Amino acid sequence: MNLLMEKYTHQPNFKANSIKIRFGTHDNIGSGPISLPTVELHTTGTWFAFNAPNDWTESKLTDAMTGTAYAIQSFIPLFVRCDRTDIHVMPQVKAVHTEKPTFFIYDSYPGGIGLSEKLYKQWDELLEKAAEHVANCYCDVGCPVCIGAQESSESNVKEEVISLLRALTDGGS
């Protein structure tokens, strides 16, 4: 589903925590909550919601969506001729607006500058090109060129990103 929002407010509803580490050795010497102000930006955006693949766990979906958002954001400047920082791609495993896994793209400027409005019409092409780019990358498990730096994990996040992107280009919901 492709929809254009008139206004989008990003209000992170998570609790941030800090970790204190020892300079030099990186030993963990304590942690605690941080109180951060809500970030509010009235801008324009578009979103793409879909049904999660049936047998995927939430953590697998989170990893795949994070890598996919990175890949999408890398490609957007080629579609609408902007700087990478002019737009923001945010994945949410269960978005409040759609109650589904959703990718949001919004302009990084108050009021919006028309970038996400252009992208609203190009979601399919954007997802296809991102899938192609990730699949053709020379790395094995993901790298900063395709899906961002990956911590070593048991699963191959790159394969998960490719399979998610291919599923999405066969039609979101």
CB of 173 to Zn ion, least distance (A): 29
Give the whole-angstrom CA distance, residue 156 versus residue 151. Answer: 10
Residue nearer to Zn ion on the CB measure, 76 or 134: 134
User: Reduced to 3 states, what is the DSSP secondary structure of residue 166?
Assistant: helix
Residue nearer to Zn ion on the CB measure, 100 or 129: 129
CB of 146 to Zn ion, least distance (A): 3
Residue nearer to Zn ion on the CB measure, 113 or 135: 135
Q: Are 21 and 28 in contact (CB under 8 A)?
A: yes
CB of 156 to Zn ion, least distance (A): 12
| Residue numbers at the binding site for Zn ion (CB under 5 A) | 137, 139, 143, 145-146
CB of 39 to Zn ion, least distance (A): 30
Residue nearer to Zn ion on the CB measure, 13 or 136: 136
- Cα dihedral 37, 106, 172, 150 sign: negative
The DSSP-derived string for 18-83 is EEEE-TTT--EEEEEEE--PPP---EEEEEEE-PPPTT--HHHHHHHHHHHHHHHHHHHHHHH---
CB of 140 to Zn ion, least distance (A): 8
Q: What's at 44, amino acid-wise?
A: T
Residue nearer to Zn ion on the CB measure, 100 or 133: 133
